Amino acid sequence: MSRYAQLTSVLLSNPAAQVILTFDELDRIVPGGLPASAKQYPAWWANNASSQPHAKYWLDAGRRATPNFKAGRAVFTLDESIETGELAAAVVDESTPQVLTEYVESSLSLERDLEDQIVSHLDVLEPGLTLVSRQETSDVGRLDLLARDADGRMVIIELKAGEAKDSSIGQIARYIGWYAQKEGQPPRAILVASGFSEPVRWAAKAIPGLKLVTYRVQFVFEAATV
Protein backbone atom coordinates (compact mmCIF):
# COMPACT_ATOMS: atom_id res chain seq x y z
CA MET A 1 0.00 0.00 0.00
CA SER A 2 1.38 3.44 -0.87
CA ARG A 3 2.17 5.60 2.12
CA TYR A 4 0.28 8.46 0.46
CA ALA A 5 -3.05 6.58 0.32
CA GLN A 6 -4.13 7.96 3.69
CA LEU A 7 -3.86 11.49 2.28
CA THR A 8 -6.48 10.60 -0.32
CA SER A 9 -8.93 9.44 2.34
CA VAL A 10 -8.35 12.56 4.45
CA LEU A 11 -9.07 14.84 1.48
CA LEU A 12 -12.11 12.86 0.35
CA SER A 13 -13.57 13.02 3.85
CA ASN A 14 -13.45 16.83 3.91
CA PRO A 15 -16.15 18.59 1.82
CA ALA A 16 -14.56 22.06 2.09
CA ALA A 17 -13.56 23.76 -1.16
CA GLN A 18 -10.09 24.23 0.29
CA VAL A 19 -8.31 21.97 2.74
CA ILE A 20 -5.28 23.55 4.38
CA LEU A 21 -2.78 21.18 5.95
CA THR A 22 0.46 22.23 7.58
CA PHE A 23 3.59 20.30 6.79
CA ASP A 24 3.53 19.04 10.38
CA GLU A 25 -0.01 17.71 9.86
CA LEU A 26 1.04 16.09 6.60
CA ASP A 27 3.99 14.49 8.37
CA ARG A 28 1.48 12.82 10.69
CA ILE A 29 -0.85 11.75 7.86
CA VAL A 30 1.86 10.29 5.63
CA PRO A 31 3.66 7.36 7.29
CA GLY A 32 7.31 8.32 7.60
CA GLY A 33 6.47 11.96 6.93
CA LEU A 34 6.96 14.12 3.86
CA PRO A 35 10.36 14.01 2.16
CA ALA A 36 12.59 17.04 2.65
CA SER A 37 12.07 18.03 -1.00
CA ALA A 38 8.34 18.53 -0.34
CA LYS A 39 9.19 21.34 2.07
CA GLN A 40 11.66 23.06 -0.25
CA TYR A 41 10.85 22.62 -3.92
CA PRO A 42 7.70 23.67 -5.85
CA ALA A 43 8.35 20.90 -8.39
CA TRP A 44 7.43 18.28 -5.78
CA TRP A 45 3.92 19.75 -5.71
CA ALA A 46 3.42 19.71 -9.48
CA ASN A 47 -0.13 18.53 -10.18
CA ASN A 48 1.12 15.98 -12.67
CA ALA A 49 1.01 12.30 -11.79
CA SER A 50 3.27 11.48 -14.73
CA SER A 51 6.26 13.45 -13.44
CA GLN A 52 5.32 13.27 -9.75
CA PRO A 53 3.60 9.91 -9.04
CA HIS A 54 2.62 10.94 -5.49
CA ALA A 55 0.44 13.73 -6.96
CA LYS A 56 -2.05 11.04 -7.98
CA TYR A 57 -3.15 10.74 -4.36
CA TRP A 58 -4.51 14.28 -4.15
CA LEU A 59 -5.61 14.41 -7.79
CA ASP A 60 -7.74 11.31 -7.20
CA ALA A 61 -9.43 13.21 -4.39
CA GLY A 62 -10.41 15.80 -7.01
CA ARG A 63 -7.97 18.43 -5.73
CA ARG A 64 -4.97 20.44 -6.85
CA ALA A 65 -2.18 21.26 -4.44
CA THR A 66 -0.50 24.62 -3.85
CA PRO A 67 2.39 24.82 -1.38
CA ASN A 68 3.20 27.81 0.82
CA PHE A 69 6.75 27.26 2.01
CA LYS A 70 6.87 30.45 4.06
CA ALA A 71 3.78 29.41 6.02
CA GLY A 72 4.82 25.76 6.08
CA ARG A 73 1.59 24.41 4.63
CA ALA A 74 -0.18 23.18 1.50
CA VAL A 75 -3.61 24.12 0.19
CA PHE A 76 -5.65 21.40 -1.55
CA THR A 77 -8.35 23.02 -3.69
CA LEU A 78 -11.32 21.23 -5.22
CA ASP A 79 -11.22 21.22 -9.01
CA GLU A 80 -14.32 20.01 -10.86
CA SER A 81 -12.25 19.22 -13.93
CA ILE A 82 -10.60 16.41 -11.97
CA GLU A 83 -12.75 13.32 -11.64
CA THR A 84 -12.62 11.90 -8.14
CA GLY A 85 -11.63 8.25 -7.90
CA GLU A 86 -15.08 6.69 -8.34
CA LEU A 87 -14.68 3.76 -5.99
CA ALA A 88 -13.46 6.02 -3.20
CA ALA A 89 -16.25 8.54 -3.72
CA ALA A 90 -18.86 5.80 -3.58
CA VAL A 91 -17.87 4.73 -0.08
CA VAL A 92 -16.61 7.95 1.49
CA ASP A 93 -19.84 8.62 3.37
CA GLU A 94 -20.12 5.20 4.93
CA SER A 95 -16.60 3.99 5.62
CA THR A 96 -14.08 4.38 8.40
CA PRO A 97 -10.77 5.99 7.38
CA GLN A 98 -9.08 2.58 7.43
CA VAL A 99 -11.70 0.97 5.20
CA LEU A 100 -11.75 3.98 2.90
CA THR A 101 -7.99 3.86 2.51
CA GLU A 102 -8.22 0.20 1.50
CA TYR A 103 -10.91 1.02 -1.08
CA VAL A 104 -8.90 3.93 -2.48
CA GLU A 105 -5.72 1.90 -2.74
CA SER A 106 -7.46 -1.06 -4.39
CA SER A 107 -9.16 1.25 -6.89
CA LEU A 108 -5.94 3.03 -7.79
CA SER A 109 -4.07 -0.25 -8.01
CA LEU A 110 -6.67 -1.71 -10.38
CA GLU A 111 -6.56 1.37 -12.62
CA ARG A 112 -2.76 1.25 -12.74
CA ASP A 113 -2.78 -2.47 -13.54
CA LEU A 114 -5.45 -1.94 -16.19
CA GLU A 115 -3.43 0.87 -17.74
CA ASP A 116 -0.28 -1.24 -17.80
CA GLN A 117 -2.13 -4.12 -19.46
CA ILE A 118 -3.66 -1.91 -22.14
CA VAL A 119 -0.34 -0.24 -22.91
CA SER A 120 1.23 -3.67 -23.33
CA HIS A 121 -1.60 -4.93 -25.55
CA LEU A 122 -2.89 -1.91 -27.49
CA ASP A 123 -3.48 -4.06 -30.56
CA VAL A 124 -5.97 -6.12 -28.57
CA LEU A 125 -7.93 -2.99 -27.70
CA GLU A 126 -7.91 -1.95 -31.35
CA PRO A 127 -5.59 -3.12 -34.15
CA GLY A 128 -3.23 -0.40 -35.32
CA LEU A 129 -3.19 1.69 -32.15
CA THR A 130 0.17 3.16 -31.11
CA LEU A 131 0.83 4.85 -27.79
CA VAL A 132 1.55 8.59 -27.74
CA SER A 133 1.54 9.39 -24.00
CA ARG A 134 0.34 8.30 -20.56
CA GLN A 135 -1.27 10.43 -17.85
CA GLU A 136 -1.04 13.60 -19.95
CA THR A 137 -2.14 16.73 -18.10
CA SER A 138 -4.62 19.03 -19.84
CA ASP A 139 -6.56 22.14 -18.82
CA VAL A 140 -9.60 19.94 -18.14
CA GLY A 141 -8.02 16.99 -16.35
CA ARG A 142 -5.62 14.10 -16.86
CA LEU A 143 -5.87 11.92 -19.96
CA ASP A 144 -5.14 8.32 -18.99
CA LEU A 145 -3.80 7.35 -22.40
CA LEU A 146 -3.35 9.16 -25.68
CA ALA A 147 -2.86 7.01 -28.78
CA ARG A 148 -2.92 7.23 -32.56
CA ASP A 149 -5.03 4.87 -34.68
CA ALA A 150 -4.13 3.16 -37.94
CA ASP A 151 -5.41 6.16 -39.90
CA GLY A 152 -3.28 8.60 -37.94
CA ARG A 153 -6.15 10.04 -35.90
CA MET A 154 -5.61 10.75 -32.22
CA VAL A 155 -7.52 8.56 -29.74
CA ILE A 156 -8.17 9.45 -26.10
CA ILE A 157 -8.43 6.33 -23.92
CA GLU A 158 -10.10 6.71 -20.53
CA LEU A 159 -9.98 3.87 -17.98
CA LYS A 160 -12.39 3.18 -15.13
CA ALA A 161 -11.96 0.77 -12.23
CA GLY A 162 -15.41 -0.78 -12.12
CA GLU A 163 -18.55 0.29 -13.95
CA ALA A 164 -18.54 3.61 -15.79
CA LYS A 165 -20.71 6.34 -14.26
CA ASP A 166 -22.65 9.11 -16.00
CA SER A 167 -19.84 11.53 -15.15
CA SER A 168 -17.50 9.49 -17.34
CA ILE A 169 -19.34 10.62 -20.46
CA GLY A 170 -19.06 14.26 -19.45
CA GLN A 171 -15.39 13.73 -18.75
CA ILE A 172 -14.83 12.26 -22.22
CA ALA A 173 -16.76 15.15 -23.80
CA ARG A 174 -14.51 17.67 -22.00
CA TYR A 175 -11.39 15.91 -23.21
CA ILE A 176 -12.61 15.76 -26.81
CA GLY A 177 -13.65 19.42 -26.78
CA TRP A 178 -10.37 20.56 -25.25
CA TYR A 179 -8.24 18.53 -27.65
CA ALA A 180 -10.25 19.65 -30.70
CA GLN A 181 -9.76 23.27 -29.68
CA LYS A 182 -6.04 22.71 -29.12
CA GLU A 183 -5.27 20.69 -32.25
CA GLY A 184 -7.99 21.86 -34.62
CA GLN A 185 -9.34 18.35 -35.17
CA PRO A 186 -11.53 16.32 -32.81
CA PRO A 187 -10.03 13.03 -31.64
CA ARG A 188 -11.80 9.74 -31.23
CA ALA A 189 -12.27 8.32 -27.76
CA ILE A 190 -12.39 4.88 -26.15
CA LEU A 191 -13.90 4.40 -22.69
CA VAL A 192 -12.80 1.21 -20.94
CA ALA A 193 -14.73 -0.06 -17.90
CA SER A 194 -16.02 -3.28 -16.37
CA GLY A 195 -19.53 -2.42 -17.51
CA PHE A 196 -21.89 0.26 -18.80
CA SER A 197 -25.44 0.90 -17.59
CA GLU A 198 -28.17 1.57 -20.13
CA PRO A 199 -28.28 5.33 -19.35
CA VAL A 200 -24.52 5.56 -19.91
CA ARG A 201 -24.85 3.72 -23.22
CA TRP A 202 -27.54 6.15 -24.36
CA ALA A 203 -25.39 9.12 -23.35
CA ALA A 204 -22.44 7.67 -25.25
CA LYS A 205 -24.45 7.72 -28.49
CA ALA A 206 -24.37 11.52 -28.36
CA ILE A 207 -20.58 11.61 -28.74
CA PRO A 208 -19.43 10.82 -32.30
CA GLY A 209 -16.60 8.34 -32.45
CA LEU A 210 -16.86 7.22 -28.81
CA LYS A 211 -16.22 3.49 -28.44
CA LEU A 212 -17.18 1.58 -25.28
CA VAL A 213 -15.01 -1.39 -24.30
CA THR A 214 -15.51 -3.71 -21.34
CA TYR A 215 -12.76 -5.59 -19.53
CA ARG A 216 -12.91 -8.70 -17.39
CA VAL A 217 -10.60 -9.61 -14.54
CA GLN A 218 -9.66 -13.28 -14.63
CA PHE A 219 -8.13 -15.18 -11.73
CA VAL A 220 -5.83 -18.09 -12.51
CA PHE A 221 -4.88 -20.51 -9.73
CA GLU A 222 -1.79 -22.70 -9.92
CA ALA A 223 -0.37 -25.15 -7.44
CA ALA A 224 2.68 -23.79 -5.65
CA THR A 225 5.76 -25.82 -4.82
CA VAL A 226 6.12 -26.50 -1.10
- Check residue 111 and give its pLDDT: 66
Spans of all domains in the chain: 1-106, 121-214
The per-residue pLDDT for range 11-29, each reduced to its tens digit, is: 888 878 889 999 999 999 9
The per-residue pLDDT for range 90-132, each reduced to its tens digit, is: 444 444 444 444 444 444 456 677 788 788 878 888 889 999 9
- Check residue 220 and give its pLDDT: 56
Q: Is the model's pTM score more than 0.85? A: no
Give the domain 121-214 fold: Trna Endonuclease; Chain: A, domain 1 (3.40.1350)
Per DSSP, the three-state class of 187 is: coil
Give the other-Cβ count within 10 Å of 224's Cβ: 5
Q: Which residues of the chain have pLDDT under 50?
A: 84, 86-108
- Check residue 120 and give its pLDDT: 82
